[in-house]
Amino acid sequence: MAQEDGEVLLEVRNLTLAFGGVQALRGVSLEVLKNEIFSIIGPNGAGKTSLLNCISGRYRPQQGSIIFRGQDITRDKPNKRCAAGIGRTFQNLALYSHMTVLDNILVGRHHLLRNNFLTGALYWLGAQKEELEHRREVEDIIDFLEISHIRKAIAGTLSYGLRKRVELARAVALRPQLLLLDEPMAGMNHEEKEEMARYILDLNEEWGMTIVMIEHDMGVVMDISHRVAVLDFGAKIVEGRPEEVMADPRVRAAYLGDEMALAEEQSTVA
C-alpha cells in the first residue's frame, strides 16, 4: 500500500476549466503517489471526467498546471503524454469495432514502434523482430486479462463486459506508469465488477502501475483505493483515506443533499 510520504508521480495544481459560462473545474489541486490506486468520486456533473481529460491532454485548462514525473505537461499534446507513460480508458467505449481484439490491443503499442519507413520496407532488417516483440507483449496482456478465447473475435460482436476488458487491455498495452480509468466498471454485473477489481489490483501490485480511477461503486472504491478525492460542482471538497472520506459530513451532503445528511446525522446521534 502507498505511503503518505511516498514519491509524488502526478501533481495537479489549481486546475481551472470552463466551457463558456459553465465552470467544470474550480481550482482543483491534488497529488497522486507512485504505486497507489487513487479514486476520484462525486455526484454526476462534479467534474470528474473533465479532470481526467485535462490530465490526458484531451482538454486544456484555462489556469493551473499538471506535473508528471517532475515535468510540466500542461501544454503537451495527448500523444506526447502517451509517450511519457500516461494511458487511459474512456467512460464510453472507444474500440475499433470492425477490428479483432488482437488488432485493437496492438493499436495501444503503436507509439512504441521504432522502425521508420526505410527499415519497415527492409522487413527482415529489424521490422519483423520488432513486430514479434510487440506481439509477445500483447499476448502477455491477453493471458493476464484472460481473453485468449476471444483474441481473434471482432470487437464489435463482444458483450459489453468483454469490450470493457479489451479497452483495458489496449490501455495496458502502452505499459503506462500512470493509468487513468474512467468508470471501468460502469454497466457491469456483480461478477464482472469483481473480475475487473481483481485486474486493477494486480496491475497495481504486480505490474507496478499507478492508477487514477473514476468509479461510482462505493464498495469497490472502499475496497481497493489507497486514497480518495471527492469533487462537487467542479471543486475538491475532501481528500484522504477511503474510510476518512466516507465519514466526512461534506461527502454525505454532496451525495445526499444537506438536509438529508443533517437528518441522517441527527438520527445517528439520537
What number of other Cβ atoms are within 10 A of residue 250's Cβ?
14
Kindly report the CA angle at 257 between 251 and 262, in degrees rounded to 5? 80
The reply to whether 181 and 168 lie within a common domain is no
Higher pLDDT, 204 or 254: 204
**pLDDT for 78 beyond 80:** yes
The reply to whether 64 and 195 lie within a common domain is yes
Look at residue 242 and tell me if it is in a domain.
yes
The reply to whether 167 and 230 lie within a common domain is no
The reply to whether 155 and 260 lie within a common domain is no
Looking at every residue in the chain, the average pLDDT score rounds to: 86
d(CA 242, CA 229): 9
Look at residue 14 and tell me if it is in a domain.
yes
Higher pLDDT, 70 or 112: 70
Of the three residues 149, 173, 197, the one that is the final residue of a domain is 173
The reply to whether 130 and 251 lie within a common domain is no
- Could you report the per-residue pLDDT of 148-165, keeping only the tens digit for each? 999 999 999 999 999 999
CB 33 within 8 A of CB 46: no
The reply to whether 156 and 233 lie within a common domain is no
Grid cell at residue 98:
470492425
- CB-based contacts of 87: which residues, under 8 Å, 6+ apart? 108, 171, 172, 174, 176, 178, 179, 180
- Could you report the per-residue pLDDT of 108-132, keeping only the tens digit for each? 776 655 554 444 444 445 556 666 7
The reply to whether 100 and 17 lie within a common domain is no
- CB-based contacts of 32: which residues, under 8 Å, 6+ apart? 8, 9, 10, 11, 38, 178, 210, 212
**pLDDT for 106 beyond 80:** yes
The reply to whether 52 and 121 lie within a common domain is no
The reply to whether 144 and 264 lie within a common domain is no
The reply to whether 32 and 56 lie within a common domain is yes
d(CA 199, CA 170): 14
The reply to whether 101 and 191 lie within a common domain is no
Give whichever of 237-241, 244-248, 254-258 has the largest mean pLDDT: 237-241
Q: What is the CATH number of the domain that holds 53?
A: 3.40.50.300
Look at residue 90 and tell me if it is in a domain.
no
Of the three residues 130, 149, 173, the one that is the final residue of a domain is 173
pLDDT above 70 coverage of the chain, percent: 84
- Could you report the per-residue pLDDT of 189-240, keeping only the tens digit for each? 999 999 999 999 999 999 999 999 999 898 999 999 999 999 999 999 999 9
CB 166 within 8 A of CB 74: no
Q: Check residue 5 and give its pLDDT.
A: 53
Q: Domain of residue 180: give its range.
A: 1-85+176-270
d(CA 3, CA 226): 9
- Could you report the per-residue pLDDT of 3-38, keeping only the tens digit for each? 445 899 999 999 999 998 899 999 999 999 999 999
pLDDT above 90 coverage of the chain, percent: 66
Is the CA virtual torsion 250, 255, 259, 260 positive or negative?
negative
- Count of domains forming the chain: 2
**pLDDT for 261 beyond 60:** no
Where b means 16+ CB within 10 Å and e means fewer, 252-267 reads bbbbeeeeebeeeeee
Q: Check residue 128 and give its pLDDT.
A: 61
Q: What DSSP designation does 100 have?
A: B
Angstrom distances, CA of residue 206 to CA of 59, 198, 230: 31, 11, 27
